[in-house]
Amino acid sequence: MEIIPALDIIGGTCARLTEGDFNREKIYNISPVSQAKRFQDAGFEKIHLVDLDGAKEGKVKNWKTVQEVVEGTKLKIEFGGGIRSEEDIAKLLKIGVDKVILGSLILKEPELFKKIAKKLKDKIIAAVDVKEDIIYIKGWQEKSAERLFPFLERLDCLGIKTVICTDIKRDGKLSGPNTNLYKSILKKFPKIKLIASGGIKSVKDIKELSETGITGVIVGKAIYEKRIKLDKLIKQWMKL
């Protein structure tokens, strides 16, 4: 199981939200490039990079920052936030992003998504952001009519292999992950490469999630708030 540190961008700096609420943002005043290098120096090979400005506005906003992170590190980068077109995807892959994360586009432009999935399924990660079984989109600002399992069924039929599932109610709250949610998903979709996100507060949480059979876990606020020490995280994890 991979541990993937999160790096969220607002206004060109690192930030974290609570439950996806832009009125409850915390800016850490760290250069995204500097933070990415810290992750690399600690031994990580991949980061979860999100343009929160882009997610909110419906178009990628922090192009320059993304390119600086790509060029300034050797990290594999999975990037999301405001991606709404094939042109955006092509540009991101061209500048060196490893995989793109799509969420709102899946529901807003289903035919376009089918086309993208057919052509680039190995480069696509689906973002499934859920609150009480309902999918949310547009940076978690808009409630959709889609329910979790039917949505995952559609993704499975389209051949999407990797899904990041975030429990919005736990995200940024350091309250522990919704382990039962991931168990229920894997029970119905055992072949999915499932990445858990939301609520991670300790290495114990990570160990608990690893026992569910998920592929990866995204860790964000616990790192920035020093609940999990970056320089010890990989060493602790290797012992588990």
pLDDT in tens, 156-174: 999 999 999 999 999 888 9
Is residue 129 annotated as part of the catalytic site, yes or no?
Answer: yes
**Spatial distance between the Cα atoms of 100 and 88, rounded to a whole number of angstroms:** 10
Give 100's Cβ-side CA count (13 Å radius): 27
Give the pLDDT band of residue 238 (cuts 50, 70, 90). Answer: low
pLDDT (average), residues 191-217? 95
176 pLDDT above the threshold of 60 = yes
Q: What is the pLDDT of residue 240?
A: 46
Tokens 């289903």 sit on residue: 110
Please say if 98 is a catalytic residue: no
Q: Among residues 8, 53, 88, 167, which one is catalytic?
A: 8
Of 129, 167, 171, 205, which residue is the catalytic one?
129
**pTM across the whole model:** 0.93
Determine the residue type at 6.
A
Domain boundaries, the chain: 2-239
- Residue length, the chain? 240
CATH architecture of 2-239: Alpha-Beta Barrel (3.20)
User: Mean per-residue pLDDT for 192-215?
Assistant: 95
Name the average pLDDT for the chain. 92
pLDDT of 89 higher than 80? yes
Residue 123 DSSP one-character state: G
